[in-house]
Amino acid sequence: MHKIFLAVDLGAESGRLIRTTIDKNAIALEEVHRFRTQGLVMHGVRQWDITRIYEEIINGLTKAAQMDGPAPSGIGIDTWGVDFGFLMSDGSVLSNPVHYRDARTEGMIDAANAIVPLQEIYDRTGIMTLPFNSLFQLLALVKAQSPALQAAAHMQFIGPLLGCLLTGKTTCEYTIASTAQMLNAKTRDWDYDLLKRLQIPTHFLGEITPPGTVVGPVSAQVARETGLDPSVPFISTAVHDTACAVAAMPVDESIGGDWAYLSSGTWSLIGAELNEPVISEATHAAGFTNEGGVGGTIRFLKNIFGLWLVQECRRTWLAEAGGDESGLDYATLTAEAEASEPFRSVIPLDDPRLFAPESMPAAIAAICGESGVPVPETRGQFIRCALESLALSYRKSLDDMDGLLGRKTNRLHIGGGGVKNRLLCQLTADACGIPVYAGPVEATALGNVLVQGMATGVFASLAAGRRAIRESQPVEVYQLGGDPRWSELLAK
């Protein structure tokens, strides 16, 4: 068996086209094309430049066709959740999708609560109330009486929107739709009653399809532009990047006990893979959400600020240095953090000022001052503060989750870019008091391809795909250090 799949993996900072080769269950990845995805502000609205992202995907597909010929076994796209665009009836894009960090949703949680109590919304959807959820983005358009709501023929999340531009076919895949806070957790379909009460139109909502649905071939135009064969299938993989990352966790069930996952990137998503949603006042109060997973599973998880803290510190320092990257690469910053005093400055990460600050170091400094801990003075101290605060948040989230589920997690699997930060991995093992299995780094791309493989018969099951990942991708195990100061910090 020799199969080649193409995975388009889009994050909030960058996008990549990854060429993946599967040979007798050995999986190898190669980055073919990388590009920037960061949003822009135009007319005061933070938005995604969807045409440029599409152009970069075409460039990547062209390179892939030149490398391997015109007929890979499949193409799939995974992206971040909640954001969406509108299509007109002729298939044209109505406007750039608005960025989830845009200010248009300010006040929308209170506006929704005045109509439908937030606890009821959570009871129906199982999704944690966050201001950027699609539900509140649409409510903002309703309140603004946006003409886009009536002009739109189709609402498409970012991945399906780009897929539609490649194939001409609209889709609405389950894992990405589940992030919207618009699905009923029990029926796993749109909660039309909830949407009606909030006066959100539903005529543009599509049929929910499972991950791994073969949408159809790329369009003739895309085939001509890229050199791909017009029969190459586009597969609606697990479109939400975290669903891909969790699918790719190389879990060895023979170890026994309960495991947890951490998808570590711009955001940190930590939780457990379940068969059914868990919804109660207690899970709502603790901030846990129930998103869709591969194979009918539920991703019971907590959404935490992730390496966004480090990324934004670096962005601020780069601007102050006039773009000079000397000494501001991630490896150098992490080394400076490792050399800094431990447990000096640890802060809670539920402060909204960390969401989209003009200066992340200034926001961290302000929170430190108000929390009564020393304000970081050096770059290393700022990064150490961010990483130790993340590790402590992981510990608290696991403790809360185990209490809600009545279990004891005995190991944590980390996938994603955060695996490359060895200091964070070790701090996480120390803080959580359990072994950490770090890898694979390319968890989202691997999960993307795993689902494509399941759709085309390469993998018989999710377990078979995970076994192939476990046998072909490096995983480093971090053992706990047992420093009692973590428990003392948690008590504070």
Q: What are the pLDDT digits (tens) for 37-68?
A: 988 999 999 999 999 999 999 999 999 999 98
Decide which of 205, 240, 275 is a domain's last residue. 240
**Residues 481 and 372 grouped into a single domain:** yes
pLDDT (0 to 100) of residue 24: 79
- Kindly tell me if the per-residue pLDDT of 1 is higher than 80: no
| Confidence label for 25 from pLDDT (cuts 50, 70 and 90) | confident
Q: What is the pTM of this model?
A: 0.94
Domain total in the chain: 2
348 and 467, same domain (yes or no): yes
* Whether residue 347 is found in the same domain as residue 408: yes
pLDDT at 358 over 80: yes
Average the pLDDT over each of 220-234, 268-282, 471-485 and give the range with the smallest value.
471-485
Point out the least confidently predicted range of 130-134, 263-267, 357-361, 380-384. 263-267
Q: Is the pLDDT of residue 481 over 80?
A: no
Of 240, 260, 286, which residue sits at a domain end?
240
Task: Tell me: pLDDT of 482 over 80.
Answer: no
Q: What was the pLDDT predicted at 12?
A: 85
Domain boundary among 240, 270, 299: 240
> Considering the domain boundaries, does residue 375 fall inside one?
yes
Same domain for 233 and 366, yes or no, is no
Specify whether 354 is located in the same domain as 274. Answer: yes
Q: Can you give the chain as a three-state secondary structure string?
A: CEEEEEEEEECCCEEEEEEEEEECCEEEEEEEEEEECCCEEECCEEECCHHHHHHHHHHHHHHHHHHHCCCCCEEEEEECCCCEEEECCCCCECCCCECCCCHHHCCHHHHHHCCCCHHHHHHHHCCCCCCCCHHHHHHHHHHCCCCHHHHCCEEEEHHHHHHHHHHCCCCCEHHHHHHHCCECCCCCCECHHHHHHCCCCCCCCCCCECCCEEEEECCHHHHHHHCCCCCCEEEECCCEHHHHHHHCCCCCHHHCCEEEEEEECCEEEEEEEECCCCCCHHHHHCCEEEEECHHHCEEEEEEEECCHHHHHHHHHHHHHCCCCCCCCCHHHHHHHHHCCCCCCCCCCCCCHHHCCCCCHHHHHHHHHHHHCCCCCCCHHHHHHHHHHHHHHHHHHHHHHHHHHHCCCEEEEEEECHHHHCHHHHHHHHHHHCCCEEECCCCHHHHHHHHHHHHHCCCCCCHHHHHHHHHHHCCCEEECCCCCCHHHHHHHC
Give me the pLDDT at residue 26, please: 86
Active site residue 324: no
Residues 226, 302: one domain? no
Q: 439: pLDDT confidence band, cut at 50, 70 and 90?
A: very high
Taking residues 185-210, report their average pLDDT.
98
Confidence (pLDDT) at 420: 96
Q: For residues 160 and 203, state if they share a domain.
A: yes
Question: Which pLDDT belongs to residue 253?
Answer: 87
117: pLDDT strictly greater than 80:
yes
Is 83 within the bounds of a domain? yes
% of the chain with per-residue pLDDT over 70:
100
Asked if residue 265 and residue 127 are part of one domain, the reply reads: no
Does the structure show a pLDDT above 90 at 367?
yes
- CATH of residue 378: 3.30.420.40
213 and 290 inside one domain: no
Residue-number span of the structural domain to which 166 is assigned: 2-240
Q: Are residues 235 and 357 in the same domain?
A: no
Catalytic residue among 9, 191, 241, 430: 241
Mean pLDDT (whole number) for 242-262? 95
